[in-house]
């Protein structure tokens, strides 16, 4: 396979010293004994060579890129920005992966994006975040046969160790005076993402958020409960930045700030509000090249990052099995009826967001593209229309290629996948059996909105949330758009805590999800326990 015109090399060098990131002038990080031990283990595992392999081929070290212009090198691995290299001036500047913890994620200077050469070849010229997407960005996927088995093994082990590290941090702290781990109430709160009313944060909403202590919020432009008579969350860029700043200022742990910015009809940041990026629909993007999708998505991702939005509930990876599907095909929300094309465009979309430090979300698992009904409105059964190999193919490819940090579940019923006919979000055979065990996904599983008709027609929201966690879901989404009852999130949190008390859900199951949530926040620079002090955070390890 040919190399890019850029000069590529691999060099094992210490990471440059950074100020303000917990790194001393000598390049060493101030760590608790627990964290230091975890990072040492991670570094050792990531730098292991296979039998007969050389250090030069280890995915533990990034390929360095000779930039044409001065730039900050941002290394991107497994869909997450991992570390930042020093400024380059026409000479190769190597970047070493020291840990899975982000050191920096927002740059206004041109950057060059790289991935480990062991699993992909990615060439890029510098681009300017916030102005345009990458003008040249080529990713040549290697066939699975081109990737040595020891590399695939280490790639998988990397995710396992990252998750294990988060669990270890939660299980005990390295210094006196620090709490051993968060309370169950804190942990369950981090598993909730909720919608809230208003364009400004008032005392009533602030007290409501304090009672729930959620892990994140989701923002909308149109207020469904009032039919648009009341303002929701978005009216202008300046107003939105102010709202997000107020939210983050009061959050004990910085919030996920989520939004639906798929493009086309599903876009909360509309031009009439003053937002400059108008992303086309997935259907329109799918008719072009993945490179064009990457460039378009980079513009949206940069806009989200500048506003303070750190989580986009996109891309949609539903295959367009039934073009008239009311929630997907009929709305132009699918890239294609070809699974390979869906995978390629979704990968480009996710890469653009990772480069901007914004979380992307693959949805709606295990596939909504064949549905003749709409799960927003009621029970939707795809048992007879679902095409298993076709609809799982994008998830399989994107997970294997490291583009899946978050997967959102669908509320569809498929009796071929779950003989009891439970909605996928509430189905252990689907969430744990297929997504976790068969496809090997070890990131965050997010539910679709639990107030949708497909759920509330059959379950109370409290029972549905408990069943979802038992099935393997990590984060419960309560958008508060299809219900005007502000007590829904409060009752859900209490129901989950009661389920732990009565033994229906184990404490370990809660802390397992919390570990994934904090690893995701940490990996995207949303939360760094070493950066907060005093009473700002309820725990610090």
Q: What is the per-residue pLDDT for 531?
A: 55
Q: How far is CA 116 from CA 8, 27, 76, 170, 298, in A?
A: 11, 22, 8, 30, 21
For 282-315, give one letter per residue: b (16+ CB within 10 A) or e. bbbbbeeebbbbbbbbbbbbbbbbebbbbbbbbb
Spatial distance between the Cα atoms of 458 and 449, rounded to a whole number of angstroms: 15
Tokens of 154: 């280490």
Give 263's strand partners: 266
CA pair distance 236, 221, nearest whole angstrom = 10
d(CA 390, CA 361): 19
Residue 276 CB partners (closer than 8 Å, separation 6+):
303
- Reported in sequence order, the residue ranges of 44-119 that DSSP labels E, i.e. its strands, are 64-65, 71-77, 80-88, 110-114
Dihedral Cα 471, 326, 260, 235, nearest 10 deg: -140
Q: Across the strands, what pairs with 258?
A: 218, 311
| Helices (H) then strands (E): counts for the chain | 14, 18
- Alpha-carbon gap, residue 187 to 264, rounded angstroms: 36
Apex 108 CA angle, 107 and 113, nearest 5: 55
DSSP H or E segment with residue 421? none
| Structural tokens at position 270 | 């509309």
Residue 23 DSSP symbol: B
| Nearest residue to 311 via CA among 269, 272, 356 | 356
Largest CA distance in the chain: 68
Residues forming a β-bridge with 88? 71
Are 450 and 493 within 8 A, CB to CB?
no
pLDDT in the model for residue 166: 56
How, if at all, do strands 266-267 and 261-263 pair? antiparallel
Cβ neighbour number for residue 98 with a 10 Å cutoff: 19
128 forms beta bridges with 110
Q: Which has the closest alpha carbon to 255: 317, 328, 206?
A: 206
Question: DSSP character for 157?
Answer: H
What is the value of pTM for the model shown?
Answer: 0.71
All domains in the chain, ordered by first residue: 8-155 (no CATH), 184-210+217-528 (3.20.20.300)
- Residue appearing with tokens 């509309």: 270
The tens place of each residue's pLDDT in the chain, 541 residues long, gives 333 222 222 222 222 222 232 322 223 322 333 333 333 333 333 333 333 333 222 222 222 222 232 222 333 332 333 333 332 233 333 333 222 222 223 333 223 333 332 222 222 222 222 222 222 222 233 333 333 333 333 344 444 445 555 555 555 443 434 445 789 999 999 999 999 999 999 999 999 999 999 999 999 999 998 898 888 999 999 999 999 999 999 999 999 999 999 999 999 999 999 999 999 999 999 999 999 999 999 999 999 999 999 999 999 999 999 999 999 999 999 999 999 999 999 999 999 999 999 999 999 999 999 999 999 999 999 999 999 999 999 999 999 999 999 999 999 999 999 999 999 999 999 999 999 999 999 999 999 999 999 999 999 999 999 999 999 999 999 999 998 788 999 999 999 999 999 999 999 999 999 999 999 999 999 987 665 443 344 444 3
Copy the structure tokens of residue 80. 């997450």
Give me 85's structure tokens.
């290299």
Tokens for 52, please give them: 């007969």
Query: Is the backbone peptide bond immediately before 27 cis, with ω within 30 degrees of 0?
Result: no
- E strand intervals along 447-538: 476-478
| DSSP designation for 431 | I
Let me know: does 167 contact 159? Beta carbons within 8 Å.
no
Q: Please tell me the predicted confidence (pLDDT) of residue 231.
A: 84
Residue 47 token pair: 């730098």
Beta strands across the sheet bearing 406-409: 362-365, 406-409, 444-446
Which residues have a catalytic role annotated? Answer: 376, 448
In this prediction, residue 163 carries a pLDDT of 55
Q: Which residue has the tokens 């969430």?
A: 431
Burial of 251 (0-12, 13-18, 19+ CB in 10 A): buried
- Cα 174 to Cα 416: distance, rounded to the nearest angstrom: 48
Distance between CA atoms of 410 and 446, rounded to whole angstroms?
A: 10
Dist CA 298 CA 333 (whole Å): 18
Tell me how far apart the alpha carbons of residues 51 and 146 are, in angstroms, rounded to a whole number. 16
Cβ proximity of 109 and 88 under 8 Å: no
Cα→Cα distances 196→51, 144, 323, 336, 395, Å:
54, 45, 33, 34, 31
Q: Specify whether the CB–CB gap between 345 and 282 falls below 8 A.
A: yes
């Amino acid at each position: 396979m040919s190399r890019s015109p850029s000069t590529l090399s691999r060099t094992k060098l210490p990471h440059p010293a950074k100020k303000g990131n917990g790194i001393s002038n000598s390049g060493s990080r101030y760590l608790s004994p627990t964290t230091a031990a975890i990072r040492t283990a991670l570094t050792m595992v990531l730098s292991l060579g296979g039998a007969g392999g050389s250090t030069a081929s280890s995915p533990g070290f990034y390929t360095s890129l000779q930039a044409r212009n001065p730039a900050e090198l941002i290394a991107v691995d497994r869909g997450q920005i991992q570390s930042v290299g020093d400024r380059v001036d026409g000479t190769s500047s190597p970047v070493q992966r020291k840990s899975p913890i982000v050191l920096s994620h927002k740059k206004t200077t041109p950057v060059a994006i790289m991935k480990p050469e062991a699993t992909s070849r990615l060439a890029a010229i510098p681009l300017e975040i916030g102005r345009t997407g990458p003008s040249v960005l080529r990713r040549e996927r290697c066939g699975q046969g081109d990737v040595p088995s020891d590399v695939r093994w280490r790639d998988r082990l990397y995710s396992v160790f990252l998750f294990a590290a988060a669990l270890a941090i939660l299980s005990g702290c390295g210094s006196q005076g620090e709490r051993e781990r968060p309370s169950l109430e804190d942990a369950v709160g981090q598993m909730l993402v909720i919608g809230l009313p208003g364009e400004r944060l008032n005392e009533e909403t602030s007290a409501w958020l304090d009672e729930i202590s959620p892990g994140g919020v989701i923002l909308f432009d149109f207020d469904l409960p009032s039919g648009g008579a009341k303002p929701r969350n978005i009216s202008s860029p300046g107003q939105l930045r102010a709202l997000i700043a107020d939210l983050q200022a009061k959050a004990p742990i910085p919030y996920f700030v989520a939004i639906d910015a798929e493009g086309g009809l599903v876009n909360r940041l509309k031009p009439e509000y003053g937002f400059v990026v108008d992303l086309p629909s997935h259907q329109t993007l799918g008719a072009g090249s993945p490179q064009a999708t990457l460039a378009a998505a980079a513009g949206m991702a940069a806009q989200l990052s500048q506003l303070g939005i750190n989580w986009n509930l996109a891309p949609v990876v539903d295959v367009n099995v039934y073009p008239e599907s009311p929630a997907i095909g009929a709305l132009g929300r699918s890239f294609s009826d070809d699974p390979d094309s869906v995978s390629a465009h979704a990968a480009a979309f996710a890469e653009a967001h990772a480069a901007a430090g914004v979380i992307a979300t693959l949805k709606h698992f295990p596939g909504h593209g064949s549905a003749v009904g709409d799960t927003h409105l009621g029970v939707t059964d795809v048992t007879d229309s679902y095409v298993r190999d076709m609809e799982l193919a994008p998830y399989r490819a994107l997970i294997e290629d490291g583009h899946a940090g978050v997967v959102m579940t669908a509320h569809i019923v498929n009796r071929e996948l779950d003989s009891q006919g439970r909605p996928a979000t509430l189905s252990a055979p689907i969430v744990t059996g297929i997504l976790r065990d068969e496809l090997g996904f070890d990131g965050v599983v997010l539910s679709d909105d639990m107030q949708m008709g497909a759920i509330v027609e059959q379950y109370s929201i409290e029972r549905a949330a408990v069943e979802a966690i038992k099935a393997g879901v990590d984060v419960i989404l309560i958008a508060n758009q299809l219900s005007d009852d502000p007590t829904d999130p409060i009752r859900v949190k209490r129901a989950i805590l009661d389920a732990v008390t009565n033994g229906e859900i184990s404490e370990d199951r809660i802390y397992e999800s919390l570990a994934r949530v904090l690893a995701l926040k940490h990996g995207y620079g949303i939360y760094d326990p070493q950066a907060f002090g005093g009473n700002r955070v309820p725990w610090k390890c």
